[in-house]
Structure 1
Amino acid sequence: MLDKNGIIPLYKQLQEILKKQIQSGERKPREKISSEINLAKEFDVSVITARKAVNLLVEEGLVEKKQGKGTFIAAQKYTRNLSQVISFSEVCRLNGTIAGSQLLECKFINADKKTLERLERPQEEKVLYIERLRFVDDEPIVIEKNIFSIAYSFLINEDLDNESMFDILKKRSGTEVSMSSRTIEICRATQKEAQQLKISKGAPLLLIKSIAYSTENKPVFIGTQIINGERYRFTM
């Protein structure tokens, strides 16, 4: 309970109580917390005091206010450093989580001239298209679409549900992805993307388009990642 005779302001005491409940797991991610009016009644403080405590938690990123819906415990965000070129599996390992994949498509398709030029394969006609749904601790986070030249056609026979693509490339062809060029945009979830990522249609997503290069500065693949931005934090 709050110490009303103590030197620490009541709103700070209430903030710390709620913070400990969140960090201990007593309050779960996405759980709705009581309104400021109900918090004020529960802890016998003013609504202004309860509001100050909640606003501090918002500033810390521990809770989030959704207009017309209430205040919710924020879901954990996973950190990815965009200055590094590492696999999704490695990003998960660095975050202390478990990576997962579901292969959605893996097939040869006809490529347009621009795609072949970006892959530096202007004389070819077909490319290998691979689409996977990527999971973090069994939660779908990313829709990943990659286009490879025919030089990497061996990928069609690999276990892309359970193995890191970067590891397969290194093992099968000695190719190491060492750099990439990227553009980042905001997009809205289509009906299909919303179903795959288990979010609402029209929810904001991060769209990363890239070309990955080997240590020899040769294009390895053209990539598109559609990411649930609510669960990802990027650093540079």
Structure 2
Amino acid sequence: MTIPRYLQIYNQLRQEIEDGKWRVGDKLPSERDLALSFEVSRMTLRQAVQTLADDGILERKIGSGTYVADKKVQETLKGTTSFSQIVREQGKKPSTKAVSYFVTQPSTNEMEKLNLSPQDKILRMERVRYADNLPICFEVMSIPYELIKHFNKKEITQSFYETMKTKGNYRISHSKQNISATLAKERTADFLNIKKGEAMLQLIQLTYLEDGRPFELVRSYYVGDRFEFVLERY
């Protein structure tokens, strides 16, 4: 069986990238030059390049060219895992920058989701999450203050789940997640170094302790071309 020419080009370019001929961020020659090099039509060459882009190996930038893409940070939807753990497992260095951090009264939605009364307080925190210093996600977290009042700011902002487990001796059980597409608003775009209106993934997550108590409501906004969710089914 003869392999289609565009797939032959796909395989060769992919192998060259894996071998290090083309590194992350490198710009590939123009479609015209590549087509001449492979002795194919530009349509055939474009099909190979688009397939590589669809697989996340290349990134096409309008008006600029085609580049070797950085691997997206991936979260596999099979449990409740911290962002820091996800990033470390993919060989990257996680970091966090707190944008705002204050104790206040819960909103109606926060009271409903976190089983709180108007007399209760919450910690509301905004932070930017990074992988190898590249901003990946902007988060708005709401946490019942009673659960975390003995933790300091650094313990909460840097790696909240690890602090809950090791210092608080809390056992994290499961979470409910809703994922949708959205566009970056100006404030979020500024924090993530992207343009207003760029595509984003919005994740609303409610996380529970083993005893059934909801302890975290978080709205996360992920840069669309830097992060992806992977669904595993059994």
TM-score range, shorter-chain basis?
0.7 to 0.9
1:118-171 CA-partner distances (Å, limit 9, x unpaired) = 212215242111211101111110111111112134366231487421111123
* Structure 1 residues 188 and 11: alpha-carbon distance in aligned structure 2, compared to 1, 3 A threshold: closer
Partner of 2:48: 53
User: What are the residue-to-residue correspondences of 1:85-100 with 2, within 5 Å?
Assistant: 85-100=80-95
Partner of 2:224: 229
Q: Is residue 23 of structure 1 aligned with residue 11 of structure 2?
A: no
* Structure 2 length-normalised TM: 0.84
Partner of 1:187: 182
Which runs of 5 or more residues in structure 2 are unaligned?
A: none
User: Higher Cα Rg: structure 1 or 2?
Assistant: 1
- Aligned partner letter, 2:45: A
1:10 Cα shift? 6.0
Q: Say which SS state the counterpart of residue 28 (structure 2) adopts.
A: coil
Q: Is the 8 A contact 1:190 1:202 kept in 2?
A: yes
Q: Say which SS state the counterpart of residue 162 (structure 2) adopts.
A: helix
Q: Is residue 178 of structure 1 aligned with residue 153 of structure 2?
A: no
Q: Is the 8 A contact 1:116 1:124 kept in 2?
A: no
Q: Is residue 219 of structure 1 aligned with residue 220 of structure 2?
A: no
- Aligned partner letter, 1:38: D
1:24 Cα shift? 3.5
Q: Distance in 2 between matches of 1:162 and 1:200?
A: 26
1:197-219 CA-partner distances (Å, limit 9, x unpaired) = 11121101111111110011101
- Aligned partner letter, 1:50: L
Q: Distance in 2 between matches of 1:156 and 1:105?
A: 17
Q: Distance in 1 between matches of 2:72 and 2:164?
A: 29
Q: Bigger shift: 168-177 or 222-231?
A: 168-177
1:189 Cα shift? 0.7
Q: Is residue 205 of structure 1 aligned with residue 197 of structure 2?
A: no
- Aligned partner letter, 1:18: L
Q: Is the 8 A contact 1:100 1:162 kept in 2?
A: no
Q: Bigger shift: 27-36 or 192-201?
A: 27-36
- Aligned partner letter, 2:124: Y
Q: Say which SS state the counterpart of residue 223 (structure 1) adopts.
A: strand
User: What are the residue-to-residue correspondences of 1:132-143 with 2, within 5 Å?
Assistant: 132-143=127-138
Q: Is residue 75 of structure 1 aligned with residue 70 of structure 2?
A: yes
- Aligned partner letter, 1:173: G
- Aligned partner letter, 2:205: S
Q: Is residue 147 of structure 1 aligned with residue 147 of structure 2?
A: no
- Aligned partner letter, 1:116: M
Q: Is the 8 A contact 1:63 1:74 kept in 2?
A: yes
Aligned length: 230
Q: Is the 8 A contact 2:170 2:209 kept in 1?
A: yes
Which runs of 5 or more residues in structure 1 are unaligned?
A: 1-6
Q: Is the 8 A contact 2:105 2:120 kept in 1?
A: yes
Q: Bigger shift: 104-113 or 137-146?
A: 104-113
Q: Is the 8 A contact 1:110 1:127 kept in 2?
A: yes
Q: Is residue 62 of structure 1 aligned with residue 89 of structure 2?
A: no
Identity %: 27
Q: Is the 8 A contact 1:36 1:51 kept in 2?
A: yes
Q: Distance in 1 between matches of 2:165 and 2:51?
A: 47
